[in-house]
Amino acid sequence: MKKIFNLCFFLLVSLVIFPASKTKKVTFGKKADPKKMELVFILDRSGSMGGLESDTIGGFNSVLEKQRKDKNGQVNVTTVLFDNEYELLHSKIPIQQVKPLTEKEYFVRGSTALLDAIGKTISQVKAEQNKLNSKERSEKILFVIITDGMENASKEYTVNAVKKLISEQKEKENWEFLFLGANIDAIKTAESFGIEKSRAAQYKSDSIGTQLNYDSINNAVEEFRLNNKVNDSWKDKIEEDVKKRGK
């Protein structure tokens, strides 16, 4: 009897001193929204790209397909096709809404107005960014420039003008530029544009080389989305291929 009394007394005291706590709804902080990114392609469609149309189309589409599966932030796509003419195919379109590239859009023709393509695209993206408030702007921008021949048709932009544009956007806005070139000295050409050696790749202009290009681009985009930078090893497979098979 005494034991029962002591037990009841203990329980009563416990309820007074340590009242039953109410169940609380725990509020967790929202996961920070990954930064918005703009992925800008400047693709050569001049006559010298003949024979690689399907590889280029397939490579481009494969990058977009893989990047759509990555939910790490919003990606908008801008795509420019160039020869001696300039075609803005996509302008800041959410990657989920970009339709696959086909032979109706990508076909080869004409000469190579590379400087005009780069200059116009930078100016266009810059103007679009300036129209937006700080919350709406893309916080990171990656340009991917692919060409297989020498500049021979630009009328509006010079090498110095392009270099100034690239240097300004890299310095002020931390834009990133990748340059992939064949049948030219890609490293020297990129450096003349203000793009550092580590962001330029010399590739072999054939089916294998084109596929490696887009595989490497996809890896670079993944790294950029995740860490806001491109690892210097992004082009290793391209360079290994050139060493093995030549330019």
Out of 98-112, 129-143, 167-181, pick the least confident.
129-143
Query: What is the pLDDT, as a whole number, of residue 230?
Result: 96
Mean pLDDT of the chain: 89
Taking residues 49-76, what's their average pLDDT?
A: 96
pLDDT tens for residues 180-209? Answer: 999 999 999 999 999 999 999 999 999 999
Query: What is the pLDDT, as a whole number, of residue 71?
Result: 84
**pLDDT confidence bin for 41, thresholds 50/70/90:** very high
Q: What span, in angstroms and rounded, lies between the C-alpha atoms of 117 and 127? A: 15
Q: What span, in angstroms and rounded, lies between the C-alpha atoms of 21 and 17? A: 12
Three-state secondary-structure class, residue 43: strand
First to last CA, the chain: 98
Burial of 131 (0-12, 13-18, 19+ CB in 10 A): exposed
**pLDDT confidence bin for 25, thresholds 50/70/90:** very low
Query: What is the pLDDT, as a whole number, of residue 34?
Result: 52
What is the distance of C-alpha 8 from the center of its chain? 70
Comparing 230 with 22, which gets the higher pLDDT?
230
pLDDT over 70 for what percent of the chain?
Answer: 86
pLDDT tens for residues 140-154? Answer: 999 999 999 999 999
- CATH second-level architecture of 37-245? 3-Layer(aba) Sandwich (3.40)
What is the distance of C-alpha 235 from the center of its chain? 14
What is the DSSP code string of 44-62?
Answer: E-SGGGTT-HHHHHHHHHH
Spans of all domains in the chain? 37-245
For 53, the token pair is 């149309």
CA gyration radius, the chain: 27
Taking residues 121-138, what's their average pLDDT?
A: 93
HEC readout, 106-171 = CCCCCCCCHHHHHHHHHHHHHHHHHHCCCCCCCCEEEEEEEECCCCCCCCCCCHHHHHHHHHHHHH
Query: What is the pLDDT, as a whole number, of residue 29?
Result: 29
Is the pLDDT reported for residue 14 higher than 60? no
24's CB contacts (< 8 A; 6+ apart) are: none
